[in-house]
Chain A
């Protein structure tokens, strides 16, 4: 089974703090994604990466950055957290080829509260 893990289930930070959310997948997937999930808005893509050191902006990249130094790890960084970044953050991965291409596998999520 594909396993996608996220470093924290719950996180509370203060406005202005730098926040790191970590995601690790164990299936050697090329593609990795960060979303935020808000009620009524579904999932919105923040950034994704299709290879080590490669990244592309999603639909709502403002206020976020990412890092992918190793294939299995994809980090989301909030340079200066703000209250409007309070949300559930979901990481996902998918293979670039094979029968499961384009099927994204999700982690459990990190519920971030910014005070």
Chain B
């Protein structure tokens, strides 16, 4: 069965710092990759996704992620975070031919003003 690992459970940083969240998955075939975000008290929502093409994907709110196939990774980055980026971030992977998403354990990010 495929699995998804997020390296950090908690990240604390100050405003304007750069953010990088790691995500690795175990499946060797073709995959679709996602980052979801859950702001405090809000629904889980899509941040960005990768299906094919340019491995550097840009999402909402200045986030981007890079798919590195050889490393089975899909790391999320933001060059300069804001207090409003405080949230829990989830990486998810789907086999290209399947229906099921497999989520990582999530990373709680706290941005101090």
B residues less than 8 Å from A33 (CB atoms):
101
Q: Are A43 and B103 in contact (CB under 8 A)?
A: yes
Q: Are B105 and A40 in contact (CB under 8 A)?
A: yes
Q: Are A106 and B100 in contact (CB under 8 A)?
A: no
Size of B's binding interface in residues, CB under 8 A: 24
Q: Are B103 and A103 in contact (CB under 8 A)?
A: no
Are A50 and B99 also in contact (CB < 8 A) when A40-B106, A42-B105 are? Answer: yes
Using a CB–CB cutoff of 8 Å, the interface residues on chain B facing chain A are 1, 4, 6, 9, 32, 34, 36, 43-46, 49, 51, 90, 92, 94, 99-106
The 3 A-B residue pairs with the shortest CB-CB distance in the complex, in nearest-first order: A42-B103, A106-B44, A43-B103
Using a CB–CB cutoff of 8 Å, the interface residues on chain A facing chain B are 4, 31, 33, 35, 40-45, 48, 50, 56, 58-59, 90, 92, 102-104, 106-109
